[in-house]
Amino acid sequence: MLVKAIGMMSGTSLDGIDICLIKIKKHKYQMLAFKSYPYQKQLVDKIKEASFLDTSNVQKICSLNYEIAYAYVDALNEFIKEYQIIMDEVAYIAIHGQTIWHNPNQMNGYYSSTLQIGEPTVIAYAFNKKVISNFRTMDMAAGGSGAPLIPFVDYVLYRSKTKNIALQNIGGIGNVCYLKKGGSISDIIAFDTGPGNMLIDGAMQKLYHKAYDENGQIAGMGTINQKVLNYLLEDDYLNEPLPKSTGREKYSNQYLDNIIEMLKKEKATNPDIIATISAYTAYSIIKEYKIFLKDIDEVLVSGGGAHNEFIIDILKQNLNAKVEVMENMDSLEAFGFAILGDMTIKQKPANVPSVTGAKKAVILGNITNPPYHDN
């Protein structure tokens, strides 16, 4: 049976809502359309407010849970219009939602918990469709960290009998999924490699009032400060054993301010600062591969950072593997959650316990039914 479905993703970079339409035929998935819809600046500010302890409160989070859902509805309406999508052919809408807090492994003495907001009933109501949401929570209920979830999708789409493949995503954070040739799902190694675009974006905002360093052009005009780079690469996180993950909690404003101050003391110019921080992202990936991954034949890079030529060049020059930017670098995660939605519908487990630390493989996702019958 042929089925179509919608996948919607918004990541920690807070750049917006990625939407895709996919076709499902048994176990084969095909992307039919993809587009990214930026968040309004006002909404980004509200999400940041709700995500930081000193500015957040329950009223803001409660309201934002609905406001984000309305933003999802608006974006999906635009998508439907733009690609003339016939919603009668769409079986379900899978949404990741916006993470505003993620506290795995009882960090800081709090219960293991995670919160992706964007109220699914609002979306189900707007389109009279089944909505699948809250993909991370069942893994956490099973003792896992609720992340990463994309390795399952990477395995479904990219496993090879002849090549060892590293799928490197550079989003807000960098993360890798390593698929050993001919390996099974339990052979997957996946972890966060360190900073992705988060520090670069932060520095661009502070120094240039821009959201990001387009194609790595500013970094390309600067010189890497080797002394500070070496210092950054001694960061404890990079030597921590697996499994591990990191986030905005670590690469905070304070962390970035310290780096910028250190570089300014070294008389680094603004382009030098961007170059050094971008090099930190690239060389942390290289360092992590050296420590944790042996024998890589091919590195496939995705996420917004795959557009950063400064980073890609460093990877190409320093990794002993073929480094390739993926064609679908921007759409992979939305595609991934649409596929995870299919696993929910088919009632098949889709977490990778060896990666998340869950006690068992479990079925992910909450299903919200369409609110009424058309006839």
Ligand X SMILES: Nc1ncnc2c1ncn2[C@@H]1O[C@H](COP(=O)(O)OP(=O)(O)O)[C@@H](O)[C@H]1O
| Contact pattern from residue 167 through residue 206 relative to ligand X, giving x for each residue in contact according to CB under 6 A and a dash for the rest | ----xx------------------------x---x-----
Give yes or no for residue 307 binding ligand X (CB under 6 A).
yes
Q: Who's near 224: CB < 8 A, 6+ residues apart?
A: 272, 275, 276, 279
- Tell how strand 130-133 and strand 366-368 pair up: antiparallel
Q: How far apart are CA 123 and CA 65, in angstroms?
A: 12
Give yes or no for residue 97 binding Mg ion (CB under 5 A).
no
CA-based nearest residue to 255, from 238, 277, 275, 240: 277
Q: How far apart are CA 53 and CA 75, in angstroms?
A: 29
Q: Which does 133 bind (CB under 5 to 8 A by kind): ligand X, Mg ion, none?
A: none
Q: Which stretch binds Mg ion (CB under 5 A): 4-12, 78-86, 315-323, 353-361?
A: 4-12
Burial readout 18-37 (b: 16 or more C-beta within 10 A, e: otherwise): bbbbbebeeeebebeebbbb
Of the two residues 15 and 119, which places its CB atom closer to Mg ion in the complex? 15
Of the two residues 272 and 330, which places its CB atom closer to ligand X in the complex? 330
Are the CB atoms for 333 and 36 separated by under 8 Å? no
Q: What's the closest the beta carbon of residue 230 comes to ligand X, in angstroms?
A: 24
Q: Which helix (H) or strand (E) holds 155?
A: helix 150-158
Q: Which does 308 bind (CB under 5 to 8 A by kind): Mg ion, ligand X, none?
A: ligand X
Q: What's the closest the beta carbon of residue 162 comes to Mg ion, in angstroms?
A: 32
Q: In this chain, which of 6, 7, 8, 13 binds ligand X, going by CB under 6 A? A: 13
Give yes or no for residue 102 binding ligand X (CB under 6 A).
no
Which chain residues interact with ligand X by CB under 6 A?
11-13, 15, 171-172, 197, 201, 212-216, 303-305, 307-308, 333
